[in-house]
Amino acid sequence: MATDTANSSVAGDLRAPITPEGRTMVDLLTGVLPQIRSEAGDNDRDGTFPVEVFGQLAKLGLMGATVPTALGGLGVHRLYDVAVALMRLAQADASTALALHVQLSRGLTLTYEWLHGSPPVRALAERLLRAMATGEAAVCGALKDAPGVVTELTADGSGGWLLNGRKILVSMAPIGTHFFVHAQRRDADGNVLLSVPIVRRDAPGLTVGTHWDGLGMRASGTLDVSFHDCPVAADHVLDRGPAGARRDAVLAGQTVSSITMLGIYAGVAQAARDLAVEMCARRRSQPAAAVLALVAGIDTRLYTLRAVAGTALLNADLLAADLTGDLDERGRGMMTPFQYAKMTVNELAPAVVDDCLSLVGGQAYAGQHPLARLYRDVRAGGFMQPYSYVDGVDYLSGQALGANRDNDYMSVRALRSPTPAGER
Amino acid sequence: MATDTANSSVAGDLRAPITPEGRTMVDLLTGVLPQIRSEAGDNDRDGTFPVEVFGQLAKLGLMGATVPTALGGLGVHRLYDVAVALMRLAQADASTALALHVQLSRGLTLTYEWLHGSPPVRALAERLLRAMATGEAAVCGALKDAPGVVTELTADGSGGWLLNGRKILVSMAPIGTHFFVHAQRRDADGNVLLSVPIVRRDAPGLTVGTHWDGLGMRASGTLDVSFHDCPVAADHVLDRGPAGARRDAVLAGQTVSSITMLGIYAGVAQAARDLAVEMCARRRSQPAAAVLALVAGIDTRLYTLRAVAGTALLNADLLAADLTGDLDERGRGMMTPFQYAKMTVNELAPAVVDDCLSLVGGQAYAGQHPLARLYRDVRAGGFMQPYSYVDGVDYLSGQALGANRDNDYMSVRALRSPTPAGER
Amino acid sequence: MATDTANSSVAGDLRAPITPEGRTMVDLLTGVLPQIRSEAGDNDRDGTFPVEVFGQLAKLGLMGATVPTALGGLGVHRLYDVAVALMRLAQADASTALALHVQLSRGLTLTYEWLHGSPPVRALAERLLRAMATGEAAVCGALKDAPGVVTELTADGSGGWLLNGRKILVSMAPIGTHFFVHAQRRDADGNVLLSVPIVRRDAPGLTVGTHWDGLGMRASGTLDVSFHDCPVAADHVLDRGPAGARRDAVLAGQTVSSITMLGIYAGVAQAARDLAVEMCARRRSQPAAAVLALVAGIDTRLYTLRAVAGTALLNADLLAADLTGDLDERGRGMMTPFQYAKMTVNELAPAVVDDCLSLVGGQAYAGQHPLARLYRDVRAGGFMQPYSYVDGVDYLSGQALGANRDNDYMSVRALRSPTPAGER
Amino acid sequence: MATDTANSSVAGDLRAPITPEGRTMVDLLTGVLPQIRSEAGDNDRDGTFPVEVFGQLAKLGLMGATVPTALGGLGVHRLYDVAVALMRLAQADASTALALHVQLSRGLTLTYEWLHGSPPVRALAERLLRAMATGEAAVCGALKDAPGVVTELTADGSGGWLLNGRKILVSMAPIGTHFFVHAQRRDADGNVLLSVPIVRRDAPGLTVGTHWDGLGMRASGTLDVSFHDCPVAADHVLDRGPAGARRDAVLAGQTVSSITMLGIYAGVAQAARDLAVEMCARRRSQPAAAVLALVAGIDTRLYTLRAVAGTALLNADLLAADLTGDLDERGRGMMTPFQYAKMTVNELAPAVVDDCLSLVGGQAYAGQHPLARLYRDVRAGGFMQPYSYVDGVDYLSGQALGANRDNDYMSVRALRSPTPAGER
């Protein structure tokens, strides 16, 4: 890894990347932002995934931004820098940022597998990372089972596996070439084992849905993916251990996978703020009292959410780089501040957007006004992995009060009966 | 008017109507609610105004609910009761409630004109009220000028008027038969006079827009209406006096026109609450801690918003019925509690809906989930007439601190330069 | 009871009493307010109970305000009116209002016993009510056991009882002549029975503490009372049935005992508001933007808290007067809106006071500034009976989700092990 | 300055100092904390300044913690580290932290004068800094004029000055040996010049008050100081330029003087949190739902306030160290994030303390309970220099909207008529 020479000038407010690699990524992105911004409204209205934009991102090497330089990527390795890039992107279009996040966080977690995994996992990770760097591979994560469904691996009788089930809310799916599918399998004693088969899009039995009508994030290519006796080779399954193992060490990887999304909601809030404050600044008349109070409040909350996200990201970077201590403690040490930040971002980003609507007035209520889109997009934050507000209260109060509980939400879900159809 | 025998049992929380006429209105509405509820999702998605539903409301006499019985109406005369009815309706579909509100509040203000206006105005009011009672007339209000436009009356040279301009956000427009258009004209000295020409839909030069793509309230038939040399007879213009006259007495009529909309947002919050709490109650597992805290908070805020709206409505009814004192004081005495209630409802109703999304979880983020619609509909409250949050701060702080200001927002707007295109 | 002829003019915002008796009480109080207001600062600083003021209240008949006229009292019977009176009083001094509340709510609950109790209870209630009307009796409630203590009745072997234990937070204790002590006793099978012995101050073994150093409400005469083999006659014990009986009917009496305290916190907020807004109105310079926003927010929240308290009080009055239906349902029907209102008042009253400090500026931080007192007094609201925020969440979510639980907090406490010393 | 070798491990959440000097300061403080903590309650009750504690701090060199090592101090030069130390101290006693802050921030600003001032100022600064390092000098700031008073310098006729006026809210005054007095003088043309005479405690005509009865921060030695024809030598007056000069460069010094106080309120919130959460963790029973929600919310807000304060401090340190660019821009660049952080800390710290009272329950309402003290202490944050909430809205909205205004609050005050007695 490169030395972080720029480190001494970090203020932690997501203003700029820390590392040279981060700056390169942001510079490359900057060139594509005008196009992304100009298409955002139409893509939102129609629920269209911007395939062409992702083609350009691939050409620029941005689909491999978090792939190590040794494997052909840009080598961005700081979560902080990824979040800064996603914030810039989300200021133009949050849906695009949400989809790109999938690829960037996969780059980070696969790099970890490449460095620390078993030999076959390292080989698999290397192949995928190299393909991500060239833009050939777009790797989706499929976490959430459809209501009433348990996605499962069963032995195919000849050393491989068959995958059956259905996943919902898989972002970037329209261009996904590989899917990391969170599945269960059972050992001889009936214990549930958490497994992640990696399935190619052209695998027999895999079907990607065609349309998702979301309240917001409508251009993020968030689709259902189903598996019907879909064959998976034995060396394409990552083992995540038994459900219920209570290894808080896994919280580290879950943090890496999700924490950079804080940048997306910071970007949504920033976009709303810029739009509303610029409109107020253009008005010729003396601003009303409430306008001044709202503007001061918006900027205060925006800085606060950037600061809390930035601080949690710096913390995660520090701990991610240090594998010398207790790994369970490291996992909690990464996840807990992440959840503090997520709780606050999920409260403040919608509040900022809401006040921006009040500043702009009735025209912001038109369906295709950018603020109307931001109002819908920003609400997605509360549903991002891990945790929702409800689950976050359990996790954080458990940490404070020393509760004895399973902090791995994938494990908890696996051990729960499937959600009945009609709930999620 | 009927004696309000039921008055002694009012708790002011919008649970039930106070008067027998109010109960009749609610009972009649109740029969139509299942149909309205079942169509709400589709109408929202397509932005379709439910013409057929309004046909049924007319058949039931509900388009004349607030018309005096002497003129063929149901004789509902308490603002409180109208708000209760709109709340019930909004629980099924907020867009329909917003559109019906237009007709119901027109019935109330026209009844006032019929009782207290000059002879020609009384005659005009009687004709309109009788037509509303039969369902023949649907009377829209056209308040807000399009950006950059001033809607104006000019003399046609033969004792009548020509109307030119464009209005936006006219609800119930698809079935509107008459439009109350808030316009300006100038006297010989160039002073701005506020006038309300009443224009029939078939008047030459009047054009009703065809589509409005709103963030929410998409089935409310909220359209643009334009006027091009549209002729208006002299006795079809209501005189509202000179702009800048600072007659706080007009706040009474503005309160009557708008205060019952509080019921709409109470209904939206109630619908969200019922949906979310019922889902939680159905779940078999022990609710998470945050679920209990959210549920208690939702019910607390819902009761609070119902109580503050109900209290302001009871106050408005008391003062509306009493014309014996200082009319300026009466105007402020009606408007000020209304604005307190509006500020609180505009804060609490969206907060309730938001927490309901948190309770229900990710499925509520699907575009056609009822909560996604409620999340969009409820935000309209902040833009309802008078006042927005920004203007409300000026009005209420002015009342508290004894500021010397024009409290008539129609007058203030008329004396302001037109909003540039691009702002509203 | 008098007919509530004034009922039709109720707006429910605690502005004025509803009944003639209520108006009499408020008029009588008004004369004493200047003295109370002028002593409030000194009494707060020194923690002095205003014995002389209570002498005057007694002379005016106000210690018997809620005693029926047939028994020599003023006959105030509406909870709403009592709350209005306590609000006025709290605007002058919250501590005095808290102490008087004890007597007034005792008058209401004893009137119920007098009307509906068994013959011996009716006789006892009549004697006490007559003595309250003359000002001879000041009747305190002793609810809360000292940490680690269970206050218990044991048989004295000759048909009477001996009381042992210690109570904390007994308000109006310096002048208390009788104490309603919430105690436990056990039947032959060891079941816990809830009992309320009524003990005279001069009873052997009863000791009233001398000083309480509270954060606020320092002049409310809130003291410890201990009992050491204190004899109680058999006919001086009110039977409250077995702990754990789950009779929600008792919630009615608990509502009557406590709901009028909402007026106290409305009064504290109103006092802070008047002080701060009047200071802002006196300043000659143009108010800063944030001053206008704060003032509008303060008045909005103050109206809201008055409305929600008023609405819950009207509801309680309606149900209190009606014993014809299911008494458990009546109990919940009174308690639930009371708790909604309490939750909101406990949130809004401190928020109003806090914003008033911001309006007034640094001088409000001086220890003897009235706002500094109000800042300390208002925080007591969160600790008033039933329920605290924490318990209120359990009660209200239980109501919403249909939980099967014991809603009687006295019963729950009795069945819990005693709080360890060091906790309360 | 020492190289900040530890810099790469900063997460910005105020957990630990960044520099070795900062760590030394915190280590030295740690030894005194038990004594400070044990005396805090009594000193608060009696309003006693802990003279003996400050003697110990002096012995340990902590009165010179921010004095450069070259002048005998500990050489702490990062605002971040000072804030961390004040946070630790405030966890034991906020009053002591507030008083020590005076000395520490004086060390920082005098070091700037020593490095960048004119030769006589450098000499003066060096003498004072050396005396602070030995503990001989305790240097107070006297900023706020008493109501109705303007503290002024007038020529004494022989090249020196006479100081007259009265200052309020001077912390650490009981042991103050020197006072930096913010005064006005007028030039020949009548223009107001901002000046800071440095006056020794034993100067003729200087009187230090004896008692201050504050709502909180009662042991901070916050007193009035008056000046009656108090002589000041010409070379003991720092020139701050003409009022109204609009040099935003001065915002840098104002930031340095005040930003570390954010640590104090972080410490108050942390102390309340630790106390309340530890009590909850000790309870044997299953925590109520609202307890879990409160605990999660408290920890979330505490982390957020630490992060936003830490981020603003890191930003101020970065800009403080860089004098190469536009100095006005640097001033705003330091002040604006500081104010964002101050707004948020002033909102979140009281909210944390308040929720801790709810967690602990009624016992926290006892006057001498630590939480009752923290509830009073924490409210001081809103009144700290610059700016109050009201002034902060003007400053921050001015920054956002490009308003043309004087951002120097000392200048604004000087040009305003004196506050009438009765206001502050």
| Interface touch C293/A296, C-beta < 8 Å | no
How far is B18 from B319, CA to CA, in rounded Å? 16
ipTM metric: 0.95
Distance CA D335, CA D350 (A): 22
Number of folded domains that form chain D:
3
Chain B residues with CB-CB distance to D290 below 8 A? 289, 292-293, 296
Yes or no: say if B114 and B125 are a contact pair by the CB < 8 Å rule. Answer: yes
What angle separates helix B389-401 from helix A289-320, to the nearest 10 degrees?
120
Count the Cβ atoms, other than its own, within 10 Å of residue A30. Answer: 13
The residue that leads in pLDDT, A190 or D394, is D394
Same-domain check for residues D315 and D237: no
Q: Compute the nearest-CA separation of B294 from chain D (Å).
A: 9
Same domain, C97 and C203: no
Q: What angle separates helix B370-377 from helix B261-282, to the nearest 10 degrees?
A: 150
Of B258, B272, B252, which is closest to residue B171 (Cα–Cα)?
B258
CB atoms within 10 A of CB C34: 10
Flag whether A209 is in a domain. yes
Q: Residues C2-6: contacts with CB within 8 Å, 24+ apart?
A: C2/C75, C4/B8, C4/C78
Average pLDDT along chain C: 94
User: Is pLDDT of C423 > 50?
Assistant: no
Domain assignment present for residue C179? The answer is yes
Cα gap A162→A49, rounded to integer Å: 30
Distance, in Å, from the CA atom of C80 to the CA atom of C317, rounded to the nearest integer, reads 7
In angstroms, rounded to a whole number, what is the distance separating the alpha carbons of residues C353 and C379?
10
Average pLDDT, integer, range A388-407 = 95
In a shared domain, residues C180 and C109: no
Structure tokens that stand for C390 in this block: 């924490």
pLDDT tens-digit profile of A284-313?
A: 889 999 999 999 999 999 999 999 999 999
Closest residue on chain C to D372 (Cα): C215
**CATH code, domain carrying A53:** 1.10.540.10
Question: Are B340 and C304 in contact (CB < 8 Å)?
Answer: yes
Residues of C whose CB is below 8 A from A296: 290
Contacts A277 to D, Cβ<8 Å: 400-401
Please report, for the domain that includes residue B181, its CATH number. 2.40.110.10
Q: Do A290 and C290 touch (CB under 8 A)?
A: no
Q: Which of B183, B209, B242 is the C-terminal boundary of a domain? A: B242
Kindly report the nearest CA distance between residue D290 and chain B, in angstroms. 6
Q: Hey, is C312 helix, strand or coil?
A: helix
Please tell me whether residues C327 and C300 are part of one structural domain.
yes
DSSP A315-377: HHHHHHT--SS-HHHHHHHHHHHHHHHHHHHHHHHHHHHHHHHHHH-GGGGBTTSHHHHHHHH
> Cβ–Cβ of D401/A337 closer than 8 Å?
no
Q: Are strands B152-155 and A237-242 parallel, antiparallel or unpaired?
A: unpaired
* B14-44 as b/e: b if 16+ CB within 10 A: bebbbbbbbbbbbebbeebeeebbebbbebb
In chain C, residues with a C-beta closer than 8 Å to the C-beta of B286 are: none
Q: How far is D293 from chain B (nearest CA, A)?
A: 6
Exposure letters C171-186 (e unless 16+ CB within 10 A, then b)? bbbbbbebbbbbbbbe
Domain-located, residue A420: no
B423 in any annotated domain: no
What residues in chain B have per-residue pLDDT under 50? 1-8, 422-424
Residue of B nearest to D289 (CA): B289
**Which residues in chain A touch residue B376, judged by CB atoms under 8 angstroms apart?**
215, 376
Closest of A86, A388, A96, A383 to residue A260, by C-alpha: A86
Q: Which two tokens stand for residue B79?
A: 């603002």
Predicted confidence at residue D9, as pLDDT, reads 56
Mean local confidence (pLDDT), A90-98? 98
Calculate the average pLDDT of chain B: 94
Contact B293 D293 (CB under 8 A): yes
Interface of chain A toward chain C, CB-CB under 8 angstroms: 287, 289-293, 296
Instruction: Output the pLDDT for position A1.
Output: 35
Measured distance CA(B222)–CA(A45) in Å, rounded:
19
When computed from its CA atoms, the radius of gyration of chain C, rounded to whole angstroms, is 21
CATH code of residue B284? 1.20.140.10
Cβ-based contacts of A287 with chain C (< 8 Å)? 289
B419, B148 in Cβ contact below 8 A?
A: yes
Q: Do residue C279 and residue C216 come from a single domain?
A: no
Count of CB contacts below 8 A, B vs D?
20
CA distance D324 to D333: 14
Q: Inter-chain contact B361–A423, Cβ cutoff 8 Å? A: yes
pLDDT tens-digit profile of D264-296? 999 999 999 999 999 999 998 899 999 999 999
Chain B residues with CB-CB distance to D under 8 A? 287, 289-293, 296
Q: CA of A297: which chain C residue's CA is closest?
A: C290
Does pLDDT of C10 surpass 90? no
pLDDT band at A419 (very low <50, low <70, confident <90, very high): low
In chain B, % helix, strand, coil (3-state, to 5) comes to 55, 15, 30
Top-confidence residue, A413 or A182: A182
Examine the fold and report which residue of D201, D220, D242 is the final residue of a domain before the chain moves on: D242
d(CA D380, CA D365): 19
Judge if B165 and B211 occupy the same domain: yes
Q: What angle do CA B329, B334, B340 make, to 5 degrees?
A: 120
User: Given a cut of 80, is residue C419 above it in pLDDT?
Assistant: no
- With bands split at pLDDT 50, 70 and 90, how would you rate the model's confidence at A416? confident
Are C134 and C149 members of one domain? no
Query: Are C20 and C107 part of one and the same domain?
Result: yes
Q: pLDDT confidence of C211, banded at 50, 70, 90?
A: confident
B114 and B187 fall within a common domain = no
Q: Which residues of A touch B375 (CB under 8 A)?
A: 215, 379
% of chain D beyond a pLDDT of 90: 89
Q: What is the pLDDT of residues D380-392, one digit of tens each?
A: 999 998 999 999 9
Q: Is residue A177 part of a domain?
A: yes
Distance between alpha carbon B52 and the CA centroid of its chain, in Å?
21
C365 preceded by cis ω (within 30°)?
no
Same domain as A109, residue A59: yes
Q: Are residues D90 and D182 in the same domain?
A: no
User: pLDDT value at position C181?
Assistant: 97
Q: Which of B13, B277, B339 sits opposite C400 (nearest CB)?
A: B277
Report CB contact under 8 Å: B292, D290. yes
CA distance A126 to chain B (A): 34
Interface test with chain C among D143, D169, D424, by most C beta carbons within 10 Å: D424
The answer to whether residue B355 sits within a structural domain is yes
Query: Which residues of D touch chain B, with CB atoms under 8 Å apart?
Result: 287, 289-293, 296
Give the gap in angstroms from C-alpha B414 to the nearest C-alpha of chain C.
24
Angle at CA of residue A407, ends A406 and A409, nearest 5°: 100
Query: What is the phi-psi region of residue A72: left when phi exceeds 0, alpha when psi lies from -120 to 50, beta otherwise?
Result: left
Set of chain B residues whose Cβ sits within 8 Å of the Cβ of D292: 289-290, 293
Residues of chain D with pLDDT under 50: 1-8, 422-424
Residue A291: its chain C contacts at CB < 8 A?
A: 289
- The helix/strand/coil state of A65 is coil
Q: What domain range is D108 assigned to?
A: 5-138
Task: State yes or no: pLDDT of A420 exceeds 70.
Answer: no
Residues A101 and A119 in one domain: yes
pLDDT score at A414? 86
Q: What is the pLDDT of residue A417?
A: 63
Residue D422 lies in a domain: no
pLDDT value of position B3: 37
Instruction: Decide which of C110, C138, C166 is a domain's last residue.
Output: C138
- Over the stretch C99-113, which tens digit does the pLDDT of each residue have? 999 999 999 999 999
A424 domain-assigned? no
Closest CA to B73 of B44, B114, B42, B39: B114
What tens digit of pLDDT does each residue of A198-247 get?
Answer: 999 999 999 999 888 999 999 999 999 999 999 999 999 999 999 999 99
> What's the pLDDT at C1?
35
